Chain A
Amino acid sequence: AQKVTQAQTEISVVEKEDVTLDCVYETRDTTYYLFWYKQPPSGELVFLIRRNSFDEQNEISGRYSWNFQKSTSSFNFTITASQVVDSAVYFCALSRRGSQGNLIFGKGTKLSVKP
């Protein structure tokens, strides 16, 4: 069975702190994709990143970075120097390659960044 676990329900930090959102997944597939989505208070779901199961290189995009470790089945997301605009619910998701795009979402982590 496929499953995505985001154990942190809510996180609160003060602006400029670094914060890491955890994501642990379960799958028996050898080929899969992992994703992160952001849902700001306005409600829309915004695609942030996709990672192929064959590519374990970490990725950095501005203040965002992602750490993918197959050995621990984790795909963690770090925001460096957090800002109030980062306040949102963040979802981790998993899909099986060739599954025609069926995504399995975690329950989400609500991040609050206070000024």
Chain B
Amino acid sequence: DAGVIQSPRHEVTEMGQEVTLRCKPISGHNSLFWYRQTMMRGLELLIYFNNNVPIDDSGMPEDRFSAKMPNASFSTLKIQPSEPRDSAVYFCASRPTGGTDEQYFGPGTRLTVT
């Protein structure tokens, strides 16, 4: 079975531009998580969805960040406008239905905002 798929793997953009990160969770998983990883702050949970519904977005740093999950097989994380401090690796993870909380991570998107 395919794992969590993220695209793009690398993104370089200029400050002020809109950035959209994409995630396809593992088929059959009903929870999806977006994380950000930086050297300074480590792994931070940004938002998570359960059955396509956002459950907790308290980790979203500010209004420039938004996330959607229009269906069970697709989610996006959008940053508009992007800033240099948004540079990080963004991970998407999914969790099986009725599982025991382990999450399976995608390969991540390395975002660089210049």
A50 contacts partner chain B, Cβ-Cβ < 8 Å: yes
CB < 8 Å neighbour of B101 from A44, A91, A97 = A97
Given that A102-B48, A105-B43 are known contacts, is A45 also in contact with B105, CB under 8 Å in the complex? yes
CB atoms of A91 and B108 under 8 A apart:
no
CB atoms of A47 and B43 under 8 A apart:
no
Given that A43-B89, A50-B100, A52-B100 are known contacts, is A103 also in contact with B105, CB under 8 Å in the complex? no
Chain B interface category by residue count: 20 to 34
Q: How far is the CB of A99 from chain B (nearest CB, A)?
A: 8
List B69-106 residues whose CB lies under 8 Å from chain A: 89, 91, 93, 95, 99-106
- Nearest CB in chain B to that of A103: its residue: B103
Alpha-carbon gap, A1 to B104, bound state (A): 25
CB atoms of B89 and A35 under 8 A apart:
no
CB atoms of A95 and B101 under 8 A apart:
yes
A64 contacts partner chain B, Cβ-Cβ < 8 Å: no
Determine which residue in A50, A99, A102, A105 has the highest number of CB atoms from chain B within 10 A of its CB, and name it.
Answer: A102
Main secondary structure of the interface of B (DSSP, over half): strand
CB < 8 Å neighbour of B33 from A97, A101, A108 = A101
Alpha-carbon gap, A45 to B101, bound state (A): 15
A107 contacts partner chain B, Cβ-Cβ < 8 Å: yes
* Chain A neighbourhood of B42, CB < 8 A: 105, 107-108
Alpha-carbon gap, A52 to B55, bound state (A): 24
B45 contacts partner chain A, Cβ-Cβ < 8 Å: yes
Determine which residue in B50, B91, B99, B100 has the highest number of CB atoms from chain A within 10 A of its CB, and name it.
Answer: B100
Alpha-carbon gap, A46 to B100, bound state (A): 16
CB atoms of A100 and B100 under 8 A apart:
no
Q: How far is the CB of B75 from chain A (nearest CB, A)?
A: 15
Q: How far is the CB of A50 from chain B (nearest CB, A)?
A: 5
CB atoms of A100 and B105 under 8 A apart:
no
Alpha-carbon gap, A101 to B108, bound state (A): 19
Q: List residues of A whose CB falls within 8 A of some B CB.
A: 33, 35, 37, 43-47, 50, 52, 91, 95, 97, 99-103, 105, 107-108
